Amino acid sequence: MSEPLKTTFKAAAMLVLVVAGALLAGPAGVGPEPQSAEAAFLSELKKLLASDTQNSDFFGLSVAVSGDTAVVGSRSQAGAAYVFQRDQGSQDNWGEVAKLTASDAEANDNFGSSVAVSGNTAVVGANAEDSGGLRAGAAYVFQRDQGGADNWGEVKKLTASDAQASDFFGISVAVSGDTAVVGAASQLTTDAGAAYVFQRDEGSQDNWGEMKKLSASDAQPGDRFGDSVAIGGDVLVVGAPGEDDGGNAAGAAYVFQRDQGGGDHWGEVTKLNASDAQAGDGLGSVAVSGDTAVVGAFMEDSGGFSAGAAYVFQRNDGGTDNWGEVTKITASDAGELDFFGFSVAVDGDTAVVGAPDEDTGGTFVGAAYVFDLLSSKPTPTPTPTPTITPTPFYNPVGGIALDEDASLRPLNEPDSESGGFGAFAWAVAAAAGAAALGGGAWYARKRAAG
C-alpha cells in the first residue's frame, strides 16, 4: 500500500473509531487483586446475556466489574445497563439482579454507552442525553439497596455545571469509592474537552455534587481531553488522544492528584507523553492502579502500520511525584491495523491491553493481551479468541473493564451493511457529519503533517 493511500485509509479508520466512540463507547475501572500473567490465561466462567434480549441491543457495549458485581451496558432504544452478581442462582453463577434505566429515559440518549462500578455504586453514561442541550450528555449514579434490599436505585443524575450542546458528557465514566469522574471530550465547542469530578455528600448527605472541572493546562482545540478517564484513590488520569506535542494527534494523558494545590482540590501534577511520540499515534486510552498508569496509543507504528502500543508510567520514577515512563509494551504478534492499545486496564502488577482489530481466528476478530509488569520485558499472554466467520469490516463499538481504577475502551461489533472498500467509503462519507456527531475533530489531523 502506498504511503498516501495508507495515510488516507488511516484517517478514515480513525474517523470510524472516534465516531463510534463518541456515540457509543466508554470506559470503566480496575480493582484490587492482581495475578501474574503466567497464571492469567483466563478460562470462561459464564456468558452473560440480558434477560430481555432484543435485536440491535449491543449488549456488552461497555462493561465493568468490582468484586462480585458486574455491570454491562446496552444501547437498546434509550439504553440500559444490567447488573450481575456472583453466586446469584447457584454457587459461582453470575446471575442478573437488576436492569438499570434512566428515570427520564428518552430514545437515542445512549444510556449505557459507558459504565463503571465500585463497591455498591454504579455510574452509567448517557452521552447523547439532551437536557442540557442537544447531545450535551449526562451520567446517572445508582446505589445498591436504594429502594429496598439488593435493589439498585438511581440516586443522582449528573450533568455538567456549564453544559452545552454536543459536549457528549458521559462519553467516559469512572468511579472509586465516593468519587466519580465523567469525561466530555467535545466540551468547549472545539473538542478541547473536559472532565468533571463529583463527590458523594457534596452539598448534602448522599448528594453527588460537582467538585471540580478539569481541563488540560495547555488545552488546544481538537485535543479531546476526557475521551478516556480513570481514577484510583487520590489519583485521576485523563486521556487526550488528539493532543499535538509529539506531532499532530500524537496524544497525551494528564495526571491529577487530590489535594494538589489545596484541600479537596484536584490539581494537575504532570503530563504524560510517549518517549517516541509520533504524529497520529493517538495516545490517550488510560488506566491507573496505585502508583502505575498505563496509556494506550492504538495507532502507533513500531510494530507495523497502526499496530499500536501501550506505555507504562510509574509514580516517583525519575524523581519524587514524577510519573516516568518505565516501559513500552507491544503485542508479540503485532500486525498492521491491530489497534493494540485501543483499550487498557491495570490492576497491581497486571495489565490488559485490547487490540480490537487483531486477526487471529478471523478478520478483525480482536484480542486482548495480559502482561506481567514485574517482568523486565513484559511478555503478553493473548486471551483465547473465538473462531468466527470472517466479516470484512468491523465497527469498534463495545467495551470492557476490570474494576474501579481504570478504563478499557471498545471492542468489536460487526457492521453487516459495510465491507471492504465499501466500509472505507462509508467512513469518508461520515466525515461530513463528524462535527455534528461530536465524534472527532482530531481524526482529520491524523498524519496531517505527512
Name the least confident of 1-10, 27-36, 170-179, 241-250: 27-36
Q: Report the C-alpha dihedral over residues 216, 251, 296, 193, rounded to 10 degrees.
A: 40
Beta bridge partners of 118: 121
Place of cell 520514577: 317
C-alpha Rg value of the chain to the nearest Å: 20
| Distance separating alpha carbons of residues 183 and 214, to the nearest angstrom | 9
Between 430 and 228, where is the model more confident? 228
| Distance separating alpha carbons of residues 283 and 260, to the nearest angstrom | 25
- Quote the mean pLDDT of the chain: 77
Between 374 and 50, where is the model more confident? 50
Eight-state DSSP code of residue 38: G
Of the ranges 28-42, 52-66, 408-422, the best mean pLDDT one: 52-66
Residue 373 has pLDDT above 60, yes or no: yes
| Distance separating alpha carbons of residues 173 and 139, to the nearest angstrom | 8
Q: Report residue 196's pLDDT band, with 50, 70 and 90 as the boundaries.
A: very high
List the domains of the chain with CATH numbers: 3-33+60-445 (2.130.10.130)
Residue 414 has pLDDT above 80, yes or no: no
| Distance separating alpha carbons of residues 412 and 421, to the nearest angstrom | 18
Place of cell 446471575: 95
Place of cell 473493564: 401
- Taking residues 255-280, report their average pLDDT: 92
* pLDDT-above-90 percentage for the chain: 53
Task: Tell me which amino acid residue 367 is.
Answer: A
- Taking residues 362-388, report their average pLDDT: 66
First-to-final CA distance of the chain: 15
User: What b/e readout covers 415-436, taking b as 16+ CB neighbours within 10 angstroms?
Assistant: beebeeeebbebbeebbeebee
* pLDDT-above-70 percentage for the chain: 73
Any residues with CB less than 8 A from the CB of 339 and at least 6 apart, and which?
17, 298, 299, 306, 308, 355, 356, 357, 358, 396
| Distance separating alpha carbons of residues 352 and 346, to the nearest angstrom | 6
Name the least confident of 9-23, 79-93, 359-373: 9-23
List, for residues 142-183, the tens digit of each pLDDT value.
999 999 988 999 999 999 999 999 899 999 999 999 999 999
Between 170 and 63, where is the model more confident? 170
pTM, entire model:
0.77
Predicted pLDDT at 157: 97
| Distance separating alpha carbons of residues 94 and 75, to the nearest angstrom | 21
Predicted pLDDT at 211: 94
